[in-house]
Structure 1
């Protein structure tokens, strides 16, 4: 399904998240211009958290999730589960500086797999539900909120 214009900016941000998720996973192929060592990947994801993930999480939580919670209980439950995954991802990434060399690859892999699962759930399930169930007027209000947030 084509992404509604209210959700399109968020979906575009997901591309970088999916690339990062794949980069962190064990046996990831090399990506041009991306780190290949576990140390490099750790540094990359810590910077990605600050520059991209936290602002992205804030955008989703203050716009999409808030709208979903106000719209219907089942959408609110889905939003709360996704918000809990935001916190879990932050905790996993913030634990990486203390990771031992022997366990770092597995911790990066766990983080990458959860990030990929999280984004796929948002895109394939949650956003589809929102587009199908929210009235156009609500989606237009959401579009305005997302645009304001991105200014």
Structure 2
């Protein structure tokens, strides 16, 4: 079983707001992957929707993680991967801005963007967050709890923790293939 197949542990309260943010990324990752096998209109819409989420939610989330998590990740390789993955997805988002203007967005690019985003989120949930929970001191976890609680208050969330401005189709399980 690879590290990305490891089921996530119960999440420490300090990490719950970041996990909630991941839901948005997973929804868009799955939409991109599904759109890749559909027509150009579907690919345009998936890219446009992703780019809106990128601007308003995903990119700010990356900045929050890069500010809060590296001091709590014990291994340099994992800290480096976090930053490198974010940089690669940021470059892909910038490329998506260009590709969205194409008459027919490249299906392979659309699918790869979705796959890379999903893989990164799953890695954070299953590896990074577990490392933080297992290695951070009680004081570090308390400081992280305060910081993420402030982030949570700044998010536009409904009672269920999901973004309230997401459309109804987003309110489904992102891994549902129906």
**How far did 1:102 drift?**
5.1
Aligned mates of 2:35, 2:50 — CA distance in 1: 17
Q: Is the 8 A contact 1:6 1:144 kept in 2?
A: yes
Q: Is the 8 A contact 2:35 2:42 kept in 1?
A: no
Q: Which has the higher helix share?
A: 1
Q: Is the 8 A contact 2:66 2:83 kept in 1?
A: yes
- Counterpart of 1:57 in structure 2 is 62
- Counterpart of 2:141 in structure 1 is 139
Q: Is the 8 A contact 1:17 1:119 kept in 2?
A: yes
Provide closer, same or farther for how the CA distance between residues 29 and 106 of structure 1 changes in structure 2, counting only shifts above 3 A. Answer: closer
Show CA shifts across 1:65-120 (max 9, x none): 2433xxx3x1x431221111111111112112333445521111110000000000
Relative to the length of structure 1, the TM-score reads 0.82
**How far did 1:38 drift?**
0.8
For structure 1, the residue ranges without an aligned partner over 5 or more in a row are 31-35
User: How many pairs does the alignment contain?
Assistant: 141
Q: Is the 8 A contact 1:23 1:29 kept in 2?
A: no
For structure 2, the residue ranges without an aligned partner over 5 or more in a row are 1-8, 155-178
Q: Is the 8 A contact 1:96 1:104 kept in 2?
A: no
Relative to the length of structure 2, the TM-score reads 0.71
- Runs of 4 or more consecutive aligned structure 1 residues displaced over 4 Å after TM superposition: 26-30, 100-103
1:13 is the counterpart of 2:21 = yes
Provide closer, same or farther for how the CA distance between residues 41 and 107 of structure 1 changes in structure 2, counting only shifts above 3 A. Answer: same
Residues 110-129 of structure 1 aligned to structure 2 (within 5 Å): 110-129=112-131
What is the Cα-based RMSD across aligned positions, in Å?
2.2
